[in-house]
Structure 1
Amino acid sequence: MSNLKPEPANAPDDPLRRTLLKGAGILAAGSLAGSALGLAPAARAETSAGLGGRLRGVQHFGITVQNMDRAFEFYTEVLGGTEVMRDGDFFGDRIQNTLLLTEEVRAVRDGVNPVTLGIPDLRSGAQRLDVRFIQFDNVVIELLQYRDKEQPTGSGKAFAPAQDLTSPAFPRAMHVCFYIRDDVDFNQFVRDLEAESARRGMSNVKANRIVRATTDEQRLGASLDSNTNRITEGPSAGWSLIYCKGPEGEQLEFVQVQGHAKQVFDGAYESRRKQLGA
């Protein structure tokens, strides 16, 4: 666990800036040692005219949670990620503007109370932001919790309720996808993931099946081989996947990429390296 002492985000030594710089430095040293398929990253041409040529890749995915401790337990103890660092108690004008300016402009434009649009008051410090970064092999997950200042860091109540409608079909919906190693039994992984999560009281962790179910009992009672959608023909041949809800109701995906699909992605990665002058 990190022993960093949180500081106000409007202090001269801005902790949000420290957090992002440290996270970027750690990734520069290790987490981007592979592409999405575990390959070495391409060198990016500093003088490239295109914006893409100025990027190093994806630094992290962020998930806003209701209960930081519960989410942290899932991503570190169930999925096995490693904590990079944690920081928090962020508040003040600078952090409010950095994260929420567009939403505030909308509130002013529409003449509504910012709270009705889910905008916390970091500006006065009535609400605070805490973050934790978790390292996986090729990307970092950032957990964020917005809370009232009176609430304790970690398991305190979140500032806003969770969104009830979490279908991945909604525009703006995003998901985080994890690789499963080639030598792992995908079907058994899904069963073990649900069982371990249930053992920890994480009732929201529910993986889909490839057969229809109208109740959770039917879903859990489906045969083991229904835990994985294996694509055997077409451009995606070799791709196996299943969608799953995480402990906060967030949308996750788990995949294995083999055969033709792996060749396609490996080839695309090598072509990009050449285009960018690697």
Structure 2
Amino acid sequence: MKLAYQISIVVFFVTVLISLFTKPDPSRFGKQIVGIQHIGVTIKDWDKSLKFYVEGLGGKPLLTGTDFKGMDIQNILFQKELKDALKNEANFKDYSIPNFLKNDRLDAIYIQYSNTVIELLRYYDSETNTPVSDIREMTSPAIPSSQHIAFHVVDNIDLNDFVNDLEEWSHENGMENVGCNRLKGCIIDEEDKIVCEEAEKVDKKFNSLKIQGKDKGDYNGWFLAYCKGPNGEQLEFNQVLYQSKKVFQKAYDTRPQTKN
């Protein structure tokens, strides 16, 4: 009995100490979220997209689903847009909403990378095999609600070389839309006119933005390239080095663990 009492006292004080030094999770749903499961991107060209994300960037295809249709799919994916169209007395096609009760269909494939999954979604007319809504060629990441996918590039290569190789391989395989921004090459003059030179005329050292130097604080070591994918989707390729790498590692080591 004496030993059991002593153990209970120790357990009590350990519990008190843990409660004193453990910060509670202030978020509403943090303990219910395990992590990012996948990132979805709507595409236009199925074959070119698979070639780019699988053969090019090395993803592994997982689940594939084709010919999704019907009332359940219509509502779970597009009910908010349908209500908005009704409220504004607009045709649902003006909102780029497919009609899964008629000819429109959805194909989807999940592609695994080492730390996350990308889902490619294709909405199309099953009779004409054309997209439900054409993808806007002219897009800017400055548009509110626009999104991008960022890939982590290994430390032991030069990101400038990676940009060159990615573009050359993509263009050789018929993906002319794939292109990355440079640090130099375009200006907006005093009359708001755009003046640009060809990308190949810009020195390779300007293929990526490399933030480095102790005066950059925690951003020291943040390297990035901003690119367009085969469907016009916004992509980023990162290297995280020096101080930035330490910041990310510390956040990873101290993040709350949620069990699935």
Give yes or no for TM over 0.5: yes
Unaligned runs of 5+ in 1: 1-46
Q: Is the 8 A contact 1:67 1:157 kept in 2?
A: no
Q: Is the 8 A contact 1:103 1:119 kept in 2?
A: yes
- Secondary structure, counterpart of 2:34 in structure 1: coil
What is aligned with 1:225?
205
Query: CA deviation digits over 1:103-157, x for unaligned, max 9?
Result: 00001111111011111101x1320000011111111111100011214xxxx42
Matches within 5 A, 1:11-90: 50-90=28-68
What is aligned with 2:130?
157
Q: Which amino acid aligns with 2:30?
A: G
Query: CA deviation digits over 1:17-74, x for unaligned, max 9?
Result: xxxxxxxxxxxxxxxxxxxxxxxxxxxxxx9973011111111111111111111111
Choose from 215, 218, 233 the match for 1:235: 218
Choose from 267, 270, 276 the match for 2:250: 267
Q: Is the 8 A contact 1:243 1:253 kept in 2?
A: yes
- Secondary structure, counterpart of 2:174 in structure 1: coil
TM-score (ref. length: structure 1): 0.76
- Secondary structure, counterpart of 1:234 in structure 2: helix
Offset of 1:271 from its aligned partner? Answer: 2.5
Q: Is the 8 A contact 1:107 1:117 kept in 2?
A: yes
> Which shifted more, 48-57 or 172-181?
48-57
Q: Is the 8 A contact 2:185 2:202 kept in 1?
A: no
- Secondary structure, counterpart of 1:116 in structure 2: helix
1:176 to 2:149 alignment? yes
Offset of 1:165 from its aligned partner? Answer: 3.5
Q: Distance in 1 between matches of 2:178 and 2:137?
A: 15
Q: Is the 8 A contact 1:180 1:254 kept in 2?
A: yes
Instruction: Classify 1:219/1:49 alpha carbon distance in 2 versus 1 (closer, same or farther; 3 Å).
Output: closer
What is aligned with 1:120?
98
Q: Which amino acid aligns with 1:142?
A: E
Q: Is the 8 A contact 1:237 1:261 kept in 2?
A: yes
Q: Distance in 1 between matches of 2:30 and 2:122?
A: 31
Offset of 1:101 from its aligned partner? Answer: 0.2
Q: Distance in 1 between matches of 2:61 and 2:102?
A: 27
Choose from 109, 120, 123 the match for 1:132: 109
Q: Is the 8 A contact 1:176 1:252 kept in 2?
A: yes
What is aligned with 2:5?
none
What is aligned with 2:12?
none
Unaligned runs of 5+ in 2: 1-24, 187-194
- Greater Rg over alpha carbons, structure: 2
Q: Distance in 2 between matches of 1:177 and 1:97?
A: 30
Q: Distance in 2 between matches of 1:238 and 1:71?
A: 31
Identity %: 39
User: Which structure has more strand as a fraction of its residues?
Assistant: 2
Q: Distance in 2 between matches of 1:183 and 1:49?
A: 37
What is aligned with 2:161?
188
Stretches (4+) displaced over 6 A:
none
1:198 to 2:171 alignment? yes
Q: Distance in 2 between matches of 1:227 and 1:73?
A: 23
Q: Which amino acid aligns with 2:80?
A: T
TM-score (ref. length: structure 2): 0.82
Q: Distance in 2 between matches of 1:272 and 1:168?
A: 29
Matches within 5 A, 1:139-150: 139-150=116-127
Q: Distance in 2 between matches of 1:96 and 1:135?
A: 26
